[in-house]
Amino acid sequence: MTRKWMGALALCAAILIPAAGHAQQAAGKTTVLKAARLFDGKSNALVTPGVVVVTDGKITAVGANSAVPAGAEVIDLGDATLLPGFIDAHTHESMMNSNDYKQRELDALQKSIAEQALDATSNVRVTLMAGFTTVRDVGSRDSLDVGLRNAIRDGKIPGPRMLVSVHAIGATGGHCDDTDGYRQGLFGHETGPEEGVINGADQARYAVRLMHKYGANVIKTCASGGVLSPTDDVDTPQLTQEELNAIVDEAHALRLKVATHCHGAEAGKRAILAGVNSIEHGTFLNDEDLDMMKQRGTYLVPTLMAVQGLQEQLDKGIYIPPAISIKAQMAIANIRRTFQKALAKGVNIGLGTDAAVYPHGRNPEEFHQMADLGMKPIDALKAGTSWDAELLGMADKIGTLEPNKLADIVAVPGNPVENIRQTEKAFFVMKEGVIYRNDRGAPAR
């Protein structure tokens, strides 16, 4: 059976899973949410009390003075804060987290695409239940991300709204080359643009066009080496200026934004000059890089939870190949300092976590990771809502609680500005007016 047909079967299998916790809102139904407080996604203070009116999947009114329409269902969540649905700008929903490095590598080779698709449905579900109603998936294979996105979009399985990249684009032997570390000839051919592996500007353009053809709504590229790739140094540049220029030019011509995996300073400079929209990780960026990002409006998506997940594995003595362990320790030692420098310089910062490097569902811990390093809690909340919405090009639809926006709404207990870790305790999750979780009321149907 061809890989194409295996992928099709995977999608069919995935969409048949019962959408546990999925409730359809009746057409014309109005729901009024009440809580002690509200964060609208953009203000510098909370509103008291919090009221949001939702009709047909969209917000129609916000604020204490909002009228309660006749016949509306009123849900009072009590001592809680209403917030826009959280956004994670850097995830890998089709990839599984594991404390067994060798088994994870073996699973990727042995498990059928259908089984991998079924495994991934659990990832998107726990992500949604943690309060994340939108994610950007920046690296998958076998169109698993496209299948997940479409099944969620069509209401077949519960999960966050997904922007997907199909396959990240990088150089032969680089961080985005899935055959890195395996013996020559094992897979029967060398990787090429079809798998996101390019050499030269023409192949770079071709790869962008292929990803767009097969469903990408964001382009992900790897400008430098990586922590978890086995054959490169973490900070080495892996794409030339001409290759990055071609990727960005082609993506922007197609109205797609570009997210760029980048640890090293030289790779960062090339990517910023090319006009990428965001630098992911940014571990070893220098002052010149950060100043350029500030000037050009380039976002930093620091993925602090990635190094948290690696630190936990190192602390537990879990096996990691020695070369990767050394790179992980280098990243842990530098990424937090770079974040603080970027914060001090006023660089645009978005919330992204690198979900899969740590267990899916722990995404909200990124809020406290940023606050612990000096970001104001209210700004951390903005990073995971309105600022990410701007980065994703979706600020007209999500990221704030305002009339005519999609009704993506999360409730957490208490006051998350006073205790940012309250974001880790979401008990109510609504996406486009559909309640997927309400621990303080009748369970969603």
pLDDT tens for residues 42-76?
999 999 999 999 999 999 999 988 988 999 999 99
- Residue 20: pLDDT band (50, 70, 90) is very low
Residues 328-350 have pLDDT tens digits of: 898 998 999 999 999 999 999 99
Q: Report the alpha-carbon angle 246-249-252, nearest 5.
A: 145
pLDDT for position 27: 61
Token pair belonging to 94? 């089709």
Helices 144-153/113-129 angle, 10° precision: 50
CA gap 186, 106 in Å, rounded: 14
- H or E stretch including 437? strand 434-438
* Burial class of residue 382 (count of CB atoms within 10 Å of its CB; 0-12, 13-18, 19+): buried
CA gap 287, 265 in Å, rounded: 9
Residues 151-191 have pLDDT tens digits of: 999 999 999 999 999 999 999 988 888 878 878 888 888 88
pLDDT higher than 60, residue 444? no
Report whether 364 contacts 423 (CB < 8 A).
yes
Report whether 21 contacts 158 (CB < 8 A).
yes
Length of the chain: 445
pLDDT for position 41: 98
3-state secondary structure of 412: strand
pLDDT for position 258: 98
CA gap 322, 303 in Å, rounded: 22
Instruction: Report the number of secondary-structure helices (H) and strands (E) in the chain.
Output: 13, 18
Report whether 343 contacts 369 (CB < 8 A).
no
CA 242 to mean position of chain CA atoms: 28
CA gap 403, 374 in Å, rounded: 32
pLDDT for position 11: 44
Residues 1-19 have pLDDT tens digits of: 344 434 443 444 444 433 4
Lowest mean pLDDT of 8-17, 79-88, 246-255, 386-395, name the range: 8-17
The residue type at 138: V
Mean pLDDT of the chain: 91
- Domains identified in the chain and CATH numbers: 30-83+400-438 (2.30.40.10), 86-392 (3.20.20.140)
Mention every residue, 6+ apart, whose C-beta is less than 8 A from residue 175: 222, 224, 225, 226, 229, 232, 238, 261
Q: How far apart are the first and last CA of the chain?
A: 38
Report whether 226 contacts 235 (CB < 8 A).
no
Report whether 359 contacts 99 (CB < 8 A).
no
Q: Annotate 394-406 with DSSP letters as a single string.
A: -TTTSSS--TTSB
3-state secondary structure of 295: helix
- Residue 232: pLDDT band (50, 70, 90) is confident
